[in-house]
Amino acid sequence: MIRPSRVGAIARFELVNVVKRPTFLLATFGLPIFLAVVGGVLGLVQSSFLQRQLDEIAVCGIVDEAGLLADDDIWSDIDALEPDERAAAEPIADGPLLVLRSVVFRRFDTEEEGEAALRDDHLPGGLFVIAEDYIETGTVAVFTQAGGPVISARHSAVEPTLARLLRDRLLRVSTDAEVSADVRKRVLDPLEIERTILTSAGAHRGERERTAELVLRMGIPFLLGIFLLTALLFSSGYLVQTVAVDKESKIIEVMLSSADPNEILLGKLLGLGAAGLIQLLVWGAMALFGVGGVVAYISTMQVAFPWEAIMVAPLFFALGYLFIGSLMIATGSLGSSVAESQKLTIGWAILAVTPLMVLLILLEEPHGPLGRVFSVIPFTAPLTLMVRLSVDPDGVALSELALAVASLILATWVAIRIGARLFRVGLLLGGSRPSWREIAKQAKLLD
């Protein structure tokens, strides 16, 4: 029977021992501070760039097929503009212009005229075509030049300005008549954007949103996978190191005469796991400051953020760590040197990130046979479920999550039991690596 006091004593010792190491403190605090300094400098450069972009006057074209902007009173010619606005609108000065909050709109009578101006690079803010059935559908087609940025501060400033303009026009049109349900709806939700990128080959719809969503839905599980792999590699480093020290110093004999191998293995796992957790928490907290702005920006883009995957990540990380970690300790102890132990343990970490190797299949068919099978295999369950929850959270049944948790807990229990036996053998038959037959015999895996 495992005695919690012994497990606690070992875990505490391992935790304090690791946490006190200068390398740990350097990795935990020094690395983020270094990254923060580098990131801060880059951030300053970026924010000043973005600010400059926002301060720039955006010039865009507008084609009003709905007749909402037909009133000539709102349009003016170039002479009525401020000097900086005039300079920006110079190439398209031969038509009606409207300036609103640093955005210059140039009206075109037809889409073809607008597209020609866009192709001539006269409309860096894009071409907005208000559809004929705008009041019913809210459709506004946005054309941008191919090769434009995926995320642009200038684009972000134009759309709210256009929304204000359209809302204002809708309310003016409605003052004399009864306000229809469609108009009320449009006032509340003035833009249903359909994006099109103009290329030499033709037009592609909605590239920007699709790209952002693809980046998120592929990026989050990918990042989580990298995070898990990093955590496992860090832990494997610590685990192998502690086992190597125990083995080399022979203190393991004293430990084995005092505590059960299960207790030692569990104590080490928990202690070093806690050290890893502290490291991840510090990194996570620091990262939150760094990426908070990015998350806020992404959330304005109306793409679904994979919260479900992020919510379950800690649970699956913890279970995955305990499972893989116990296998790592066991096999690591069989190595005759730190280098050999590292080689023996690395395989487990690679198994854990197998889902990344088949990421395309999982993204294409998150709930297909591969996704479902990988979700119950303890090695692959943590990452597979994160991918599936990122892509389509509604397709993952609660029972599947419960099954994955149960399979991981069961596998961890088995891994600790077998791991503890191999651990004892590996540590005692030190010097050279024992034969597999001897390992099996000593571990009582064979009679």
Q: Which residues bind another protein (CB under 8 A)?
A: 3, 5-6, 9-10, 13, 16-17, 21, 245, 248-251, 253-260, 424, 428, 435, 437-438, 442, 444
Least separation in angstroms between residue 263's CB and another protein is 9
Q: How many CB atoms lie within 10 A of CB 97?
A: 22
Least separation in angstroms between residue 35's CB and another protein is 27
Q: How many CB atoms lie within 10 A of CB 399?
A: 8
Q: Which is nearer to another protein, 3 or 101 (CB)?
A: 3
Q: Which is nearer to another protein, 115 or 263 (CB)?
A: 263
Alpha carbon 218 to its chain centroid, in Å, reads 8
- Distance between CA atoms of residues 381 and 409, nearest Å: 12
- Distance between CA atoms of residues 245 and 251, nearest Å: 8
CB 338 within 8 A of CB 236: no
Question: Which residues, in sequence order, are CB contacts of 401 under 8 Å at separation 6+?
Answer: 312, 385
Question: Which residues, in sequence order, are CB contacts of 209 under 8 Å at separation 6+?
Answer: 195, 301, 302, 303
CB 313 within 8 A of CB 224: yes
- Distance between CA atoms of residues 137 and 140, nearest Å: 9
Least separation in angstroms between residue 236's CB and another protein is 20
CB 309 within 8 A of CB 389: yes
- Distance between CA atoms of residues 243 and 305, nearest Å: 41
Least separation in angstroms between residue 364's CB and another protein is 50
CB 261 within 8 A of CB 420: yes
DSSP line for 116-157: HHHHTT--TT-EEEE-TTHHHH-EEEEEEETT--SS-HHHHH
Least separation in angstroms between residue 237's CB and another protein is 16
Token readout for 386 is 């994160």
Least separation in angstroms between residue 432's CB and another protein is 12
Q: Which is nearer to another protein, 289 or 436 (CB)?
A: 436
Least separation in angstroms between residue 273's CB and another protein is 19
How far, CA to CA in Å, does 120 sit from each of 117, 298, 313? Answer: 5, 30, 48
Least separation in angstroms between residue 250's CB and another protein is 4
Q: Which is nearer to another protein, 26 or 214 (CB)?
A: 26
Q: Which is nearer to another protein, 124 or 261 (CB)?
A: 261
DSSP line for 36-102: HHHHHHHHHHHHHHHHHHHHSPEEEEEEETT-TT--GGG-B-GGGS-HHHHHHHGGG-SS-EEEETT
Least separation in angstroms between residue 332's CB and another protein is 18
Residues in the chain: 447
Least separation in angstroms between residue 254's CB and another protein is 6
Q: Tokens 């379950």 correspond to what residue?
A: 312
Q: Which is nearer to another protein, 28 or 144 (CB)?
A: 28
